[in-house]
Amino acid sequence: MTESEVRTLMAKFGAAFRAGDADAAAACLADDFTWQLPAGNGDPRGQVLQGRDAALRYLRERFAEQQRGGNGVVFSDSRMEVFGDMVILRYRVRGMAEGGLPVDAMGLDVFRVANGRLLSKDAYWKQVTWPISSQ
């Protein structure tokens, strides 16, 4: 894929993600897509979603939670770099942690692309000390 094609794919995925459109986001994924989330239990890679269908289920649940007034996570300040079939996306993430405490961290996603689809997304967030409630 050319850099222009990669950027177009990333823009399409990003627009769908920001709009909360799970089906449009999943349309950008390869059938064997792998998503390593920044957190999880028992696996050093974090929670791992294998396959487009697993990613679609996760996105539907995540977007439904946000519509119900969930964690209200907002991504901003993104910067993308394209290196052939690899994309590095840096961003800021803000929202609410369990207990209503604010979260503010920098993140980085590493994507692999081929044949007009995303093959993988490996997500990382800075591990910062969250404010402790004064209660």
Distance CA 37, CA 117 (A): 19
The structure tokens 């946000």 sit at 66
Residue 97 resides in a domain: yes
Task: Residue 89: give the domain boundaries.
Answer: 3-125
Q: What is the pLDDT of residues 14-62, one digit of tens each?
A: 999 989 999 999 999 999 999 999 888 888 888 999 999 999 999 999 8
Residue 29 resides in a domain: yes
Distance CA 64, CA 133 (A): 28
Residue 135 resides in a domain: no
Number of domains in the chain: 1
Q: Which two tokens stand for residue 110?
A: 């590493």
Residue 131 resides in a domain: no
Q: What is the pLDDT of residue 131?
A: 61
Helix, strand or coil, per DSSP, at residue 62: helix
Residue 74 resides in a domain: yes
Residue 96 resides in a domain: yes
Residue 47 resides in a domain: yes
CATH number of 104's domain: 3.10.450.50
